[in-house]
Chain A
């Protein structure tokens, strides 16, 4: 495997064609192959079931052509024994196979595809290079339908009672992406056939509304049977709309939004490891520890714990890592090795001597750009001492080559013409350090992503462009100077703001990971909103658990709890913050290296449906409290009505509050179980009991709870009739007005972010338009705030259930511990610095998004006081807005100075 340079010759010569499983069988691969372009390590593998030599003893074509002798037919699987203290299982899910649903004729109609196949059809790396065509005749489809809940929420044809949680969003995404893929002014019709649209994630509801505005049609109907169109092309759908009209419509293709099932080997894995599965074969966990399996030390993350989307899965990945780290905290650092580098050579006074590496990237670059011509060209450029073309400049052997040549030619600068610095610059920086050079003496020219990948049709012009790119990189590298990274001492202590469930769990996790922390809570009692909840969706009682956690947090030797305390001021940066907190009249200074913000949110107080006017109209929390205090006695009343989405999903708050549907189900079930004759009505817009919460919706229906759908344009009306509380609505199926006499009306009111303004100002955190604190990246960094060293958990980030808050809190603590585990932290060296040209005008201060700049007074050599800008390197992110704004060259960014940028432009314009 070490010898393979992934040049692709073997696959080119291999005579055996096999269905490509990565492209869902829509295209072919060879018997020697890479699974997909982004695999790491990028090495070809032989598929023993299809290899002609391994199955029939003849061929060996790949071996003949491999330039590095990397083919080894005897390479077999090995059993490796590892000693570990914890195991995290992440086997993912299995997409539902729709061929068992004969009425959808997935096996018979070519233009009926699964959502995963459609995803490949849309993908630039897919069988049609991102040009969307339908399978029957490879023509561009103009009319596409999605059918939701295929293999989800179905106990008839399969036993998947649960909701797969992600299909509504991916169908909407596919519809919107399709618009971008189809050519020109195509008149496109896209219909999504659904039961409930479940866009319960952050910003999802807006996405849904946007899709509606862009013309995606949402049809609340479930087709019965799919019939082939003429000549088995296209698909005919017969359905009945909500007005009862029978509609026959022909689509160019139909996408089945298939659900997520437990992975294939779930049972085997659970048997081998000795943990339990739930009734759907997902790993069984509790709401209070969503990653802990029934066996201590074995954790689960991702869809194996139940269907979930990427943000949730990535959050849980950090949760599982934190849990494992907690278990192994005593052994932390015992197996780590520290890398040493040779002493850095001072090159500041040397004349630039530049080495240039020109990468072929297999054939990625060289099949478009003439790399040999580039080599000859580079040799002619000033200061260039050495030029080489390599197959893969990122391969390990090339790194050795670079080090060797740096020494041989006394090189003091390196230019790599290859791919993007985003992914590969750190590698070459490391190589420079290994060669004894400062890591900032490398420059990259992206002749792949910005050239060969986009100019495939014009190799000549692409080669000329590559020359320009190389020329510019060399001009810039000539002016590169060694930079030092800022090193700060880490204060290995955390501050947790907010003492609700998220704060409590964050603090306990940090403490159990071995870090001291301070938990501040503005009220006199810990626990927050959780006191208002009775059970989790898995029916675990919340109060006993909460009491136990509070007890633990208040008695933990590593945790200091400050109640009736508020945060007043924050200074400093990642690794080294300072805060002022106020408890009563007392103000205290606290130093900490990382913070977790868990300031929670509040239940919205409705302004409609007679709330506040009639004592029988209650919010969800109030209703729960009256039930607990036995003021509402289910056995003594006749009828309870719930209205969903009160204050959510409207113009003012265009987001879904995520938890209300599940909370209503819990209450409705409890009422029905206490008194089966009690009539319970739920007026809703879409029921959003995502994931295995769907079980509660099913149970509520089985118990006889009546669900009546309403729309925003036809909201229920609540009035008093002779002292009776009456709710009026219209049943959408039979179009008749319904009048319900209610003993109580429970309003499932929104979750509103009331506590976020001050905290986000103090830490400079960004919020979304609804006021929820933003994560640094919704998918890749779902628990990091936009300010380094600050993490998020719970409702302040977005409405979420208690199990999700707990998972996020543990994840946030885990992420924070990455900072706290270090004695010192190195920051990037690409930072702004002030030159003598600065006259302190302050223009840059206004544009800096990170508050890294301030105006200070300094004393000149002749004693006069003048104004000047001061840049805080710890806060600066090197974005360059200041440099671009300053009219005098008074503030610059290391590595991107005006001189360097000018040199690039001058070189480009030279001829």
Chain B
């Protein structure tokens, strides 16, 4: 690790952790840690980069802000929240991770996430894979056609696009229409069987939101607003987010 020795007790500096605590309800309980390790025991990212959630919070508590704001481990956290789930003190470690991500210069953040966010910002589909409105509609209709023909029991199945006033607005991770179109069908079948009144939209149909994982608040907001507007424009009552 970067520093050889932790020096404490001199004039109090404002720790990164303290700033984060000001932003969170109840300070995210970040001070309450018993160092019991329940978080680390359940974390899928434990051991990566010689780090785990307990160590991460401990470094923050001891003011090791340089390590906190530079360890690539923060990008390995999947934000699954298993740590909070069992923490006896309900400590919000994922939020600490989030703010640590935010401390990275945007251009230094992991390329995969960064590019996915940037691509999503480029068009109204919000697709991190850059799939256009036309491509999406074409794939949906093409796949639907094929299944209706090959599976007579689903001859009546529908996959509406831009149907105004439908009850449910369904979205879809870009990966499916772009690389695994057949994966969309099981959900259509379920919705068909229960007789749900639903639709896709050509705008805002992509379910993923890499800007959130990038800890780019502004872009995250833009993506959410674009998606929300698409739902409202079609006058749907419920937004079914499949992510």
Contact = CB atoms under 8 A, between A and B. Distances in A.
A704 B8 CA distance: 13
B139 to A, nearest CB: 39
B12 A677 contact: yes
Contacts of A222: 36-38, 41, 86, 88
B62 A738 contact: yes
A224 B89 CA distance: 14
Interface residues of B, number: 43
Nearest to B56: A734
B129 interface: no
Contact of B42 (A224, A641, A677): A224
A731 B6 contact: yes
A742 interface: yes
Interface stretch (B26-34, B156-164, B175-183, B209-217): B26-34
Contact of B7 (A225, A245, A732, A739): A739
Interface string B80-124: 001011111110000000000000000000000000000000000
B89 A225 contact: no
A706 to B, nearest CB: 6
A349 interface: no
Contacts of A244: 40, 46-47, 50, 52, 55
Contacts of B52: 240, 244
Contacts of A224: 38-39, 41-43, 82, 86
A246 interface: yes
Contacts of B8: 639, 679, 681, 706, 738-741
B194 interface: no
Interface in A342-400: none
Contacts of B32: 698, 701-702
A910 to B, nearest CB: 68
B73 to A, nearest CB: 12
B192 interface: no
B195 interface: no
Contacts of A736: 1, 3-6, 62, 64
A685 interface: no
B86 A153 contact: no
A222 B85 CA distance: 13
A191 to B, nearest CB: 14
A709 B43 CA distance: 23
Contacts of B82: 224
A716 B12 CA distance: 22
Nearest to A103: B86
B59 interface: yes
A240 B40 contact: yes
Interface residues of A, number: 47
Contacts of B55: 244, 733-734
A638 B12 contact: yes
Interface string A563-597: 00000000000000000000000000000000000
Chain A CB within 10 A, most for which of B1, B32, B34, B90: B34
Interface in A281-310: none
Given A221-B37, A638-B10, A709-B35, A737 B5 contact: yes
Given A153-B88, A734-B62, A641 B41 contact: no
A740 to B, nearest CB: 4
B36 A195 contact: yes
A709 B62 CA distance: 13
A446 B239 CA distance: 79
A707 B8 CA distance: 13
Contacts of A701: 31-34
A223 interface: yes
Contact of B64 (A703, A732, A734, A742): A734
Contacts of A707: 35
B99 to A, nearest CB: 18
A857 interface: no
A569 to B, nearest CB: 53
Chain A CB within 10 A, most for which of B11, B41, B64, B87: B41
Nearest to B34: A195
A769 interface: no
Contacts of A698: 32
B3 to A, nearest CB: 7
A733 B34 contact: no
Nearest to A238: B41
A155 B88 contact: yes
Contacts of B39: 224
A706 B61 CA distance: 8
A638 B1 contact: no
Nearest to A736: B6
Interface in A20-43: none
A648 to B, nearest CB: 22
Contact of B88 (A154, A681, A709, A732): A154
Chain B CB within 10 A, most for which of A153, A238, A240, A739: A240
A358 to B, nearest CB: 59
B35 A733 contact: yes
Given A681-B8, A734-B64, A739-B7, A103 B85 contact: yes
A324 to B, nearest CB: 39
Contacts of A241: 37
B203 interface: no
A414 B64 CA distance: 82
A246 B47 CA distance: 7
A543 B12 CA distance: 35
Contact of A731 (B40, B41, B58): B58
Given A103-B85, A156-B90, A741 B38 contact: no
A242 interface: yes
Nearest to B87: A156
B54 A737 contact: no
A870 to B, nearest CB: 63
A251 interface: no
Nearest to B17: A704
A154 B4 CA distance: 35
B9 interface: yes
A360 to B, nearest CB: 54
B88 A221 contact: no
Interface in A208-249: 220-225, 238-242, 244-246
A149 interface: yes
A154 B85 CA distance: 12
Nearest to A741: B9
A220 B62 CA distance: 20
Contacts of B5: 736-739
Contacts of A737: 4-6
A300 to B, nearest CB: 28
Interface string A612-640: 00000000000000000000000000110
Contacts of B36: 149, 195, 221-222
A681 B47 contact: no
Given A246-B46, A638-B12, A239 B41 contact: yes
Contact of B58 (A156, A734, A739): A734
B87 to A, nearest CB: 6
Given A149-B88, A739-B7, 17 more contacts: A156-B87, A195-B36, A220-B37, A222-B86, A222-B88, A224-B82, A241-B37, A244-B55, A638-B10, A639-B10, A701-B31, A733-B58, A734-B1, A736-B6, A738-B6, A738-B8, A741-B10
21 contacts: A103-B86, A155-B88, A156-B84, A157-B86, A195-B34, A221-B41, A224-B38, A225-B41, A238-B41, A240-B37, A240-B54, A241-B37, A244-B55, A638-B10, A681-B9, A732-B35, A736-B4, A736-B6, A738-B7, A741-B8, A741-B10
